[in-house]
Amino acid sequence: MADRVFQFGARSLSLDCPQVMGILNVTPDSFSDGGLLYREGRLDRSELLFRAAEMVKAGATLLDVGGESTRPGAALVGGQQEVDRVVPAIEALVRELDVVVSVDTSTPAVMTAAAQAGCGLINDVRALGREGALAAAAATRLPVCLMHMQGQPETMQQAPGYADVVVEVMEFLQQRLLLCGEAGIPSDQVIVDPGFGFGKTLEHNLVLLNQLQQLMCLRAPVLVGLSRKSMIGALLDKTVDARVYGSLAAAVLALTQGAWILRVHDVAATQDAVKVCQAVRESCR
């Protein structure tokens, strides 16, 4: 029987095995890798392509390009500045590598420009909540990833609260799925992300990870971003660059709960963990 597939424009990926998405932030201030792709204030395309090629060689099937930091307390970036950051990166990646390129943005103009540059997925932490975002995303005819976030990046970690974090995350994502359908985005073009670390305490994140499988009732593939996040640092008392092993443990737990895409900084290490998990799964078939 042929694999079930998810279409990203001209490219497709199997829904029957986990996928690894490498993070490429073309920003000066992202929490883990901000500024690493810059030289003298400009995007270093050679470094971008080198890092991207290494990720693909290590097993990344998607690369997520972001031009606006969404770390807690991050400042907003103007739309044109974000376009100027991400479009050259997307064009270079699409031209040089056989990989799905995703754009991490909430801005309608950036979605349009990124689609024209050849990206295959719109990954929005605001779940197409900005004015005009739903229409812009629908017009691109690209698949979208909808993430849950309580509040906005500037203030989201000040006092997050839920009566039931799992129920509220699911209800939010279900409502956004319905709105996508009304806007003309087919249900088979939507991925969901529970938004670990976005308007959630450590306890909220742990409960959400423990019950991640409940999101399967949304009937949409699940993407998770746990890599190097503050919840790992809080548990282990580790700095950002020392959270690889904790991130791998969280990734494995997410896989066992049904996650499909792992959005990570450390592609090679994560791919090793994925291969072990997949081998165990297949041995039981």
User: By the 8 A CB rule, do 284 and 244 touch?
Assistant: no
For the four alpha carbons of 107, 113, 116 and 118, in that order, the dihedral sign comes to negative
**Could you tell me whether strands 19-25 and 261-264 are parallel, antiparallel, or unpaired per DSSP bridges?**
parallel
Residues 6+ apart with CB under 8 A from 88: 43, 45
> Do the beta carbons of residue 191 and residue 222 sit within 8 Å?
yes
Active site residue: 71, 85, 229, 243, which one? 229
Catalytic position from the list 57, 263, 275, 281: 263
The residues, ordered by sequence, that sit 6+ positions from 101 with a Cβ below 8 Å of its Cβ are: 62, 63, 65, 90, 93, 94, 118, 119, 120, 121
> Are residues 21 and 263 in contact, defined by beta-carbon separation less than 8 angstroms?
yes
Residue 20, SS3 per DSSP = strand
Is 263 known to be catalytic?
Answer: yes
The count of other CB atoms within 10 Å of the CB of residue 275 is: 13
The answer to whether 229 is a known catalytic residue is yes
Catalytic residues: 229, 263
